[in-house]
Amino acid sequence: MNIGIIGLGLIGGSLALASKKYTLGSRCYGRDINPTHVKQALTLGIIDEELTDAKLPQMDIVILAVPVDIACELVLTLLDNLNDNALVMDVGSTKTGICERVSVHPKRNQFLATHPIAGTEFSGPSAAYPELFLEQTQILCETSFTRPDLLEWALQWFRSMSMRIKEMDPKAHDQHIAYVSHLSHVSSFMLGKTVMEKEKDERAIFDMAGSGFASTVRLAKSSPSMWTPIFKQNRENLLEVLTEYIENLSAFKNDLEQQHYDQLYQTMEATNAIRSILAGINENNTKNNN
């Protein structure tokens, strides 16, 4: 089983490591736009060989683990050059764009759109580890368009990594994920920006900031190269969500201005219901270094 990984970052690298750990006889080939990442991935044993163009037709599986705009560009060329029994999968945080892109390709049935809900704020091969996907959700889109034998292999592969499979329409995926992931990133980036603009003296932040601040701005460490294309591809959904978030913040600000403290109390109390939702998420993440 030859597995090609394009993009040797956190997700690509971890998929390679998970594959080596859980799938007998898998040999991993990798490439990355950054030559240092290829060297690191070889040194760390993430890949066995570099993935050259000449070796592409020998791959059984190819994973596209690159920013979503690049994935949309590469996927067609990849399908063109694969052998007739290979499967290509992307792992991006937006699904509508890539599903539209492949829709009329003659080898559409050799493609599977996936979104593993897993990650940390760290990037690059050194951030990869094989247990990243353990008990995490794997969202698959348009599975009926994938050739059944290739889909079945992919399902087995994800199950071997102990992922929980969920199917979803690409448009529904992009709408939901704007709420539970993309908005968190914008919220965190802007929180970091607001504090850094005001608190020029970093030492003061360091001394006074506790774990609550660290938790809310953690995602502001995320890679702009990865997130700019995601925001671009999910622009409409994110704009809707951002509008609602800003409205809620403005309503909170208005209540504070008007000194409507009972209203503030009730709003916070109602939001405490998030506890039960978070309990489920944390339960799933206890084994992960997130």
Return the residues of window 84-113 that contact a copy of itself according to CB under 8 A: none
Q: Measured from the CB atom, is 43 or 215 closer to a copy of itself?
A: 215
Angle in degrees, 0-180, between the axes of helices 224-233 and 68-81, rounded to the nearest 10:
80
Q: Is 258 in the site for a copy of itself (CB under 8 A)?
A: no
Q: How far apart are CA 114 and CA 212, in angstroms?
A: 32
How many residues of this chain bind a copy of itself (CB under 8 A)? 98
DSSP characters over 152-171: HHHHHHHHHTTPEEEE--HH
* HEC profile of 120-141: CCCCCHHHCCCCCCCCCEEEEE
Closest listed residue to residue 65, CA positions, set 20, 9, 110, 120:
9
Reduced to 3 states (helix: H, G, I; strand: E, B; else coil), residue 232 is helix
Q: Is 134 in the site for a copy of itself (CB under 8 A)?
A: no
Q: Measured from the CB atom, is 154 or 230 closer to a copy of itself?
A: 230
In whole angstroms, the minimum distance from the beta carbon of 123 to a copy of itself comes to: 11
C-alpha pair distances (Å), 218 with each of 153, 184, 255, 280: 36, 10, 28, 20
Q: Is 281 in the site for a copy of itself (CB under 8 A)?
A: yes
In whole angstroms, the minimum distance from the beta carbon of 109 to a copy of itself comes to: 26
Q: Is 33 in the site for a copy of itself (CB under 8 A)?
A: no
Structure tokens, 225: 């190269």
Q: Is 143 in the site for a copy of itself (CB under 8 A)?
A: no
Strand partners, 111: 88
Applying CB under 8 A, which of residues 34, 81, 143, 285 lies at the interface with a copy of itself?
285
Q: Is 245 in the site for a copy of itself (CB under 8 A)?
A: yes
Applying CB under 8 A, which of residues 34, 137, 143, 162 lies at the interface with a copy of itself?
137
In whole angstroms, the minimum distance from the beta carbon of 179 to a copy of itself comes to: 5
* Whether 141 contacts 168, CB under 8 Å: yes
Question: Per CB under 8 A, which of residues 202..221 are in contact with a copy of itself?
Answer: 202, 204-221
Applying CB under 8 A, which of residues 35, 57, 148, 224 lies at the interface with a copy of itself?
224
Question: Per CB under 8 A, which of residues 40..59 are in contact with a copy of itself?
Answer: none
Q: Measured from the CB atom, is 23 or 288 closer to a copy of itself?
A: 288
Q: Is 227 in the site for a copy of itself (CB under 8 A)?
A: yes
Q: Is 120 in the site for a copy of itself (CB under 8 A)?
A: yes
Q: Give residue 162's region: left, alpha or beta (phi > 0; psi -120 to 50).
A: left
